[in-house]
Amino acid sequence: MTHQIYTATGCARCRITKRYMQENDISYEEFDFKADGREAFSQFYRSHRKEIFRDKDGVEFPVFTDGRAICQGVSVIVGYLIGGGDLSGFIGRSALHGEWIDGFDISGGHPDHTDKFLRVLTFLKQNSLKIQVTTDGRNASVLEAVYDKKLADRVLMEVRGTAALYKSLVGVAIDEDELKQSVALTARFEDYRFSTTIAPMTREDGTLAYLAPEVVGDTAKLIEEATGSKKHPYQLKAFDPQKATDEKLKSIEPLPPGAMFKYRTSARRYMVMAEIQKNT
């Protein structure tokens, strides 16, 4: 099998990716976009334009292919080399640059593949990258393993609502004990933050409605009960219908100006540091 990696001169994450391949005796052919490999990558990009991420700053390197799959970014590539497609739920594209790397969703993968996931995080940590992970409470056992092995430098936990509402909000049910376990684990990390998005959900009659302020209060209360403290960083986020992936949710009107203050008031009964996230 031929492995090809497209890199860019001076790209630290390209060096880390190649280091993994070298340490694991994975042969590859390299094409440096900023040197002799420019034309080779241009041809490859033209043939696979839809599969390669590009933003206003250009293409993210490294880009890897084994002829069956195209992977982009050090964590995605290493994850693929370790687990094939098994880790696709755990690992996605990183939006952070420099020494920080993200795109790791504790709740997105299958716990049967925890060991492979931990191998990816371990390798990245060994190469001086700071890791940010996200969770919504599912897969508490995976978060516990990450904590025990000190593999995350920052944890962002999106507490969707009370456990009873997860099925309606996420499409997957969660046990309240597991949700509280993830909350308690998150608060153990040195750098962490809780958040709740004031999201719409489908009522029994089929109509859409935003979470009520009282529900956000109950969610904040759950965090207090799980941790024994009212003092945690807790952000309340307004839902943006235009960014929804579900077409049905795009039809709902945004919350009116000033509505978020009611949610903050309700949350602060239990989380005194609750704040409204500013639009960026």
**pLDDT per residue as tens digits for the range 52-98:** 999 888 899 999 999 999 999 999 999 999 999 999 999 999 999 99
pLDDT score recorded for residue 177 = 98
Cα separation, 165 vs 272, whole angstroms: 23
Cα separation, 280 vs 263, whole angstroms: 20
185: Cβ–Cβ under 8 A, 6 or more apart, which residues?
A: 140, 143, 144, 147
Q: What is the mean pLDDT of residues 159-175?
A: 93
Whether 20 shows a pLDDT value over 80: the answer reads: yes
pLDDT score recorded for residue 280 = 52
Give 105's pLDDT tier (boundaries 50, 70, 90): very high
Q: Which residue has the higher pLDDT, 242 or 27?
A: 27
